[in-house]
Amino acid sequence: MEERKVFEDVLENGMYTNPEYKKTGVLTCATDIYSFGVVMLQVLSGTRIAHVDEDGRHILLTKALSNQAIQQGNLFLHEDQWEQHCSGPFKRQSSVSIDKCGLGSLYQGSSQCSSLSLTNIVQDQNFKDVRDKCTPGFSSSFDDACKDCTSAIRSARDHFLDQFDARDNRTERATCVVAIIISVATTKLNDPSSMDDFLSCLPALNTLEKSSEDYIKIKYSLAKALIAIVLATFGMMMVILLVKYVTRNARNGRKLVLLKPKEFASCPGLYSFSKAEIENAINFGDEKKFLGLGSAGQVFKGVLPSGQVVAIKQIYRSNTSDSFSRELENLSRVRHPNLVCLFGCCIEDGEQYLVYEYCSAGNLAQHLLRKDRVLNWEQRVNILRDCALALRYLHNYIDGCIVHRDIKLTNILLTEELQPKLSDFGLAKMLGMEESKVFTDVRGTIGYMDPEYMSNAKLTCASDIYSFGIVALQVLSGQKVIELDLDARDQLTRKAKDVSMRKRPLKDLDDPQLKGEVNSVDFESILQIVVLCVAKSSKGRPTIDVVFEEMDKVWKNTLSDKKAAEQSALAAVRKSHSVGVLPV
């Protein structure tokens, strides 16, 4: 079959579109398999997912299959369930059938691994190792925890494949992995935090497998010799490091060079909008709604022909040679629930636009300034925890630490459910695997910028930690939300340090709008780690793994307090009802 680039209808049916097809333009039967999987997700979960991004789909799918496994015991759908939900008056091409496209192997019982039940897997001795290594709460380094978890999954997979004598069967290998993942997820349905951590690790499972295969294809003889040496000396750990090294080198040329606009024929891996489509989206209903200013352009609200609301950034002409290429390079390859999603771009007639998901609740600064509706303690803790989670993803990216360089209140957007998403990657910079720092032009926002970076132009991951610390102090205190100059920043950090050392009372720092409805122990826990974040020297700052661990502990405490309060209120109601009933 000839490979061809096809961009028609990718936009309108984006949530159903195979990510590989969107990225490469190569159309195969596998594209339909992906789309059919999304339809299955809707059927299984009963959830309307018109506005759910790729990460959301994966989470919903895993949860849906896990729920089914608990309720019915089987990990895959029976053939009659498929026929019940997939029949209809539609026409197929005569040359294409469900079996030819590979769906025949996804029925319950259609293969040996798909015949496994939840009980078969959970009661197997090898599953205990998977459950233990994928459920510790990721208190250690995120990379190490993920490595242990995915390694245990692969070991359990190989155990079942040996039982079935199916090591060389690719379908069985894939099916067994899915069965094990669903089984692990059934143990996490009541622990959203643990589920999020587990799901965040799964891309590493696929990346390591795929990278290893690609490497062997490129240079089999050399790989064979290297693997023999590695196995004899350093074991599986070095194999994983070798694969990461090869993967990084394969992407090195794309990573280190910032392409100029004229070098972009289209938007690589994204939908390429025409200028007419952009203008129609911005001027929907004869109304042009301005949302705000970014570091490199102005942002408008837009509506696509499908009805999906988006945010469209028009890049300033003076910044097109730098910010556009940075943002396109960075956001086109990262995906995380707490990072704003880039849908596509437009390069036409000297104009450049970026099209993002729309966050309807505005930015964090707007909410801290509101008087009519105040962010409560639970919401603030959740926002800080999720922002730390997004930073952990960036700083532990497989190719090296991605430094955002412009973390501030206005760059933290909020969805309708107040889920935070980091935005504006126009200044982001990647540090390679071997680089702990780079010397670069000093950019960012005064008040949030790392003092060390400002003085010596040395950019490190710790620069983001400082900015996050300033944001956290603003969220905790509700102070210095606007006009955060250097004097205001220093005043805020001094006050925080005094409170943390008990030289000043807690009330001097907590937001008066919270009216004392704050867990003082958790407040102090956050304050202690945040004070370390804003240390003047980068050497005194914690890593993002340490920051997230502390934020996650506080978030779990907050959820526990909320549950206890609800149970106490329910008990009080029941008691009042029982007192009101008099014996006859």
Catalytic positions: 406
First to last CA, the chain: 84
CB-CB neighbours of 358 under 10 Å: 20
Write the DSSP string, 340-403.
PPEEEEEEETTEEEEEEE--TT-BHHHHHH-SSS---HHHHHHHHHHHHHHHHHHHT-TTS-EE
Take residue 519 and report the two structure tokens written for it. Answer: 């867990």
Q: Pairing state of beta strands 342-348 and 271-272?
A: parallel
- Provide the 3-class DSSP secondary structure of residue 294: coil
Give residue 538's identity as a one-letter amino acid code: S
Residue 246 CA to residue 214 CA, distance in Å, equals: 10
Take residue 583 and report the two structure tokens written for it. Answer: 């014996």
- Provide the 3-class DSSP secondary structure of residue 310: strand
Give residue 426's identity as a one-letter amino acid code: G
CB 534 within 8 A of CB 499: no
Take residue 416 and report the two structure tokens written for it. Answer: 């309708």
The residues, any chain, with a CB within 8 Å of residue 484's CB and separated by 6 or more, are 446, 447, 448, 470, 474, 492
Take residue 318 and report the two structure tokens written for it. Answer: 């003076």
Residue 347 CA to residue 315 CA, distance in Å, equals: 10
CA Rg value for the chain: 26
Closest-CA residue to 542 (of 395, 405, 411): 395
Closest-CA residue to 270 (of 327, 211, 336, 199): 327
The total number of residues written for the chain in this structure: 584
- Provide the 3-class DSSP secondary structure of residue 271: strand
What is the torsion angle, in degrees rounded to the nearest 10, for the CA atoms of residue 569, residue 573, residue 574 and residue 579? 140
Take residue 446 and report the two structure tokens written for it. Answer: 């005064």
Closest-CA residue to 378 (of 113, 235, 560, 203): 560
Residue 121 CA to residue 124 CA, distance in Å, equals: 5
Residue 19 CA to residue 574 CA, distance in Å, equals: 52
The residues, any chain, with a CB within 8 Å of residue 193's CB and separated by 6 or more, are 137, 552, 555, 556
Write the DSSP string, 236-267.
HHHHHHHHHHHHHHHHHHHHH----GGG-SS-
Residue 204 CA to residue 396 CA, distance in Å, equals: 11
